[in-house]
Amino acid sequence: MAAKKRKRAAKAKRGPARKAKASARKAKRPAKKAAKRPAEKAKAAAKKAPARKAPARKAKPAAKKKKQIVGEGDYAASRAFLKDQSGFVEKNKAAIPAMGKAAEKALEGPEGDSLRDAEATAAARSRDTF
């Protein structure tokens, strides 16, 4: 704060004389710029002229190395899983209820014990318990 106050005080002391010099400088500037303007316009027009483009070449696609992110989840595997699941549902919309009934009959039938054992084995390896 003190530095700002000192700067303001110094400007106030030089005030009238400085303002007069600044207005004199401003009066001179337009005359100089007016003389330069035609040359500047020519340069600007030259820059704006359309440049000739080289014929388009077919570029080979660069082989990108995809960084596999694994940790909280493998993003590529997650995308593939979701795509596969939604594709299966789209293809088998009408057959899904029948598949559920068939699975229910299989659990109640002679192979039900082996299916429950397989489910228990898979659940034991899983983080989530069913």
* pLDDT tens digits along 40-56: 666 666 666 566 666 66
* CB distance 69 to 75 below 8 Å: yes
* CB distance 39 to 33 below 8 Å: no
Q: What is the pLDDT of residue 76?
A: 84
Alpha helix stretches (DSSP H) within 49-125:
75-91, 96-108, 112-125
Q: What is the pLDDT of residue 118?
A: 94
User: Using 50, 70 and 90 to split pLDDT, how confident is the model at 73?
Assistant: confident
Q: What is the pLDDT of residue 117?
A: 95
* pLDDT tens digits along 86-118: 999 999 999 999 999 999 999 999 999 999 999
Average pLDDT over the chain reads: 76
Average confidence (pLDDT) over 17-32: 61
3-state secondary structure 36-52: HHHHHHHHHHHHHCCCC
Q: Is the pTM of this model over 0.85?
A: no
Higher pLDDT, 66 or 89: 89
